[in-house]
Structure 1
Amino acid sequence: MTTVDVSEISAALFITGAVFIMLIFSLLSLGILKMFQQRFRAGWYSFAGAVVSGIAFGFILNQWFV
């Protein structure tokens, strides 16, 4: 196993990744919480928001950083 040089990663890419990862996983956990609370519609909306956020993250990465 070797070390990975992350000095080439820009600050904008790091911040974008961090924000979207926090957004996606918070929406997923909120969806799970709503499902346990028997609020299925709100849970599915949270899951859908996580999917839309993931697609937006992929689109932004493709347009700005590739």
Structure 2
Amino acid sequence: MTLVDVSQISAALFITGAIFIMLFFSLLSLGVLRMFQLKYRAGAYSFIGAVVSGVVFGIILKTWFV
């Protein structure tokens, strides 16, 4: 097991990643919760929001950081 050097990661990339990771997983968990509550439409909207936020995150990464 080796150490990973994260000194090359900019603050903007870290903050962007942290925000989108929190958004994606909160929408995903909210979708699962709504499905267990038998609120299928709200659950589907949460899943769709998670997918859309993942796609937007990919586009932002490709546009600004690559």
Q: Same fold judged by TM-score > 0.5?
A: yes
Which residue of structure 1 lines up, in the alignment, with residue 27 of structure 2? 27
- Equivalent AA in structure 2 for residue 14 of structure 1: F
Number of residue pairs matched by the alignment: 66
TM-score, structure 2 as length reference: 0.98
Percentage identity across aligned positions?
A: 76
Gaps of 5+ in 1: none
Q: Normalized against structure 1, the TM-score is what?
A: 0.98
Task: Give the aligned CA root-mean-square deviation in angstroms.
Answer: 0.4
User: Where does the alignment leave 5 or more consecutive residues of structure 2 unmatched?
Assistant: none
**1:35-57 alpha-carbon deviations (Å, 9 max, x no partner):** 00000000000000000000000
Instruction: Quote the residue 2:2 is aligned against.
Output: 2
C-alpha deviation, 1:2, in angstroms: 1.2
Matched AA of 1:5:
D
C-alpha separation in 1, matches of 2:43 and 2:4: 38
After superposition, what is the alpha-carbon deviation per residue over 1:2-55, rounded to whole angstroms, capped at 9, x for unaligned? 111001100000000000000000000000000000000000000000000000
